[in-house]
Amino acid sequence: MSYKNIIFRKEGKIAKITLNRPDKLNALSPELIGELEKVIEEVKSDRDVRVLVITGSGKAFSAGADVGAMVEATPLQAKESSLRGHRVFRMLEELDIPVIAAINGYALGGGCELALACDIRIASEKAWLGQPEINLGIIPGWGGCIRLPRMVGVAKAMEIILTGERISAQEALQAGLVNKVVPEDKLEATVNELAEKLASKPPIAVKLAKNVIRKGLECDLEAGIGLENSAFSLCFATKDQKEGMKAFLEKRQPQFKGE
- Spatial distance between the Cα atoms of 210 and 38, rounded to a whole number of angstroms: 22
3-state secondary structure at position 179? coil
Site for ligand CO8 in 100-119 (CB under 6 A): 106, 108-110
**Binding test (CB under 6 A) with ligand CO8, winner from 142, 148, 157, 208:** 142
Element (H, E) at 44: helix 30-44
Binding pattern for the stretch 172-201 against ligand CO8, x by CB under 6 A and - elsewhere: ------------------------------
Q: What is the CA 198 to chain-centroid distance, rounded?
A: 14
Identify which of residues 101 and 194 has a Cβ nearer to ligand CO8 in the complex.
101
Rounded-to-integer distance, Cα 143 and Cα 124, Å: 23
Contact region with ligand CO8 (CB under 6 A), list: 5-13, 87-95, 130-138, 239-247: 130-138
Closest alpha carbon to 133 in 111, 105, 149, 114: 111
Which residue, 24 or 38, is less far from ligand CO8 as judged by CB?
Answer: 24
Residues 36-55 that bind ligand CO8 (CB under 6 A): none
Mark the segment that binds ligand CO8 (CB under 6 A) among 139-147, 154-162, 212-220, 236-244.
Answer: 139-147
Helices (H), 123-202: 144-152, 154-163, 169-175, 187-199
Among the listed ranges 64-72, 226-234, 235-243, 250-258, the one in contact with ligand CO8 (CB under 6 A) is 64-72
Which CB atom, from 5 or from 81, has the smaller least distance to ligand CO8?
Answer: 81
Q: What is the rounded CA–CA span in Å between residue 22 and residue 152?
A: 29
Binding positions for ligand CO8, 66-95, rule CB under 6 A: 66-68, 70, 78, 81-82, 85
By CB under 6 A, the count of residues binding ligand CO8 is: 24
Residue 76: CB minimum distance to ligand CO8, A: 12
Q: What is the DSSP string of 200-229?
A: TS-HHHHHHHHHHHHHHTTS-HHHHHHHHH
Catalytic residue among 37, 80, 113, 193: 113
**What are the backbone dihedrals phi and psi of residue 196, each rounded to the nearest 5 degrees, phi first?**
-60, -40
State how far the Cα of 221 lies from the Cα of 225, in Å rounded to an integer. 6
Least CB distance from residue 27 to ligand CO8, whole Å?
4
* CA angle at 111 for the pair 113 and 176, rounded to the nearest 5°: 55
Residue 186, C-beta contacts closer than 8 angstroms, at least 6 positions apart = none
- Of residues 198-227, those binding ligand CO8 (CB under 6 A): none
Active-site residue 133, yes or no? yes
157 lies in the binding site for ligand CO8 (CB under 6 A)? no
Q: Which is nearer to ligand CO8, 79 or 197 (CB)?
A: 79
Question: What residues line the site for ligand CO8 (CB under 6 A)?
Answer: 24-25, 27, 63-68, 70, 78, 81-82, 85, 106, 108-110, 132-133, 136, 140-142
Report, as residue numbers or ranges, the catalytic residues: 113, 133
